[in-house]
Amino acid sequence: MRRIRHVLMVINYQKDIGTIMQQEISEYLKQRGIACSTYGYQDGDSLPVIEDVDLAISLGGDGTVLYCARLIQHLGIPILAVNLGTFGFITEITREEWKNAFEAYEQGHLGVSYRVMLRVTVERDHKHVFSAHGLNDSVVNASGLSRVVNLQLRINNTFLGDFRSDGVIIATPTGSTAYSLAAGGPIVHTDMDALILTPICPFTLSIRPLIISGNDVIHIEVVPRQRTALNLSVDGQEMFSLMEGDLITLEKSHSRAMLIESDQRNFYEVVRSKLKWSGG
């Protein structure tokens, strides 16, 4: 048995069902004598001081889970990700299944998937000017009309090359089925300890996606004489404007996103369903 005394609910109120689900879950937890705190999706950049939280419940879609994972990455608690629409790549548990999943986890029948998270920092003139964590990916691309950007990439201390492209995506295995996949990157099982480097529309066709060890560190330098302004995004939710000479460091975070696994479907079933694989 896992003892749950205090639950944090992170809710996407933009979904009509969000308030209804909040009331349903709050009433259930109250009857069980379990304390509950609520936090709205995109209410702010930091979590109010909450002590002794044992579990987070994410109510929304995949975007809500990404937000929740960044919000609580320092707490080291599992997330019960409940999708308020159809199940997503990350939110495998539907709104009809939440109670059974909660009780099955409490009784020790459901495991936890420990997901690699990214740590992203930007150094400018030898000073750290930006830092963030992400569960899906981090993207460097153009913000102006001219799409092609020039980036110099290194992995650890090894020069990888000067990339001319529309940008580059650094994804985790969890994020391999998101923007990276749309840009031609590989699907990587969420349990793997790896990072994926995917160029966006590279000027040279020989530049291909690359899967690297989770222990590797990626350095991206914004070289001078760019034709456009550049942006850095984390999980598509945090944005930062880059300047020439900026050095971006991307590496595996010390924190991991702990997602409670569904007993109704696994990673391969989700991929098959969402990508509509049918064989034949």
pLDDT at 140: 97
Q: What is the pLDDT of residues 86-123, one digit of tens each?
A: 767 898 899 999 999 999 999 999 999 999 999 999 99
> Of the candidates 198, 126, 190, which has an alpha carbon nearest to the alpha carbon of residue 168?
198
Number of domains in the chain: 2
* Dihedral (CA of 263, 268, 271, 274) sign: negative
Q: What is the pLDDT of residues 20-53, one digit of tens each?
A: 999 999 999 999 999 999 998 765 556 666 778 9
- Res. 233 pLDDT band, cuts 50 70 90: very high
**Are residues 97 and 25 both part of a single domain?**
yes
* CATH code assigned at 68: 3.40.50.10330
Q: Are 186 and 209 in contact (CB under 8 A)?
A: yes
Q: Residue 163 is encoded by which pair of tokens?
A: 């990339």
Q: What is the pLDDT of residues 194-217, one digit of tens each?
A: 999 999 999 888 899 999 999 999
**In degrees rounded to 5, what are phi and psi of residue 174?**
-60, -40
Is residue 69, in this structure, part of any structural domain at all?
yes
Mean pLDDT of all residues in 134-140? 97
pTM equals 0.93
Is residue 1, in this structure, part of any structural domain at all?
no
Neighbours of 44 (CB within 10 A): 9
- Phi-psi domain of 42 (left: phi exceeds 0; alpha: psi -120 through 50; beta: other): left
For the chain, what percent of residues have pLDDT higher than 90? 75
* CATH code assigned at 239: 2.60.200.30
pLDDT at 114: 96
For residue 40, give Cα distances in angstroms to 8, 50, 110, 128, 247: 11, 15, 26, 29, 33
Is residue 279, in this structure, part of any structural domain at all?
no
pLDDT at 181: 96
Q: Among all residues, which ones are annotated catalytic?
A: 62
Q: What is the pLDDT of residues 158-199, one digit of tens each?
A: 999 999 999 999 999 999 999 999 999 999 999 999 999 999
- What is the Cα 149 distance to its own chain's centre? 24
Domain that holds residue 182: 117-254
The SS3 call for residue 28 is: helix
The SS3 call for residue 130 is: strand
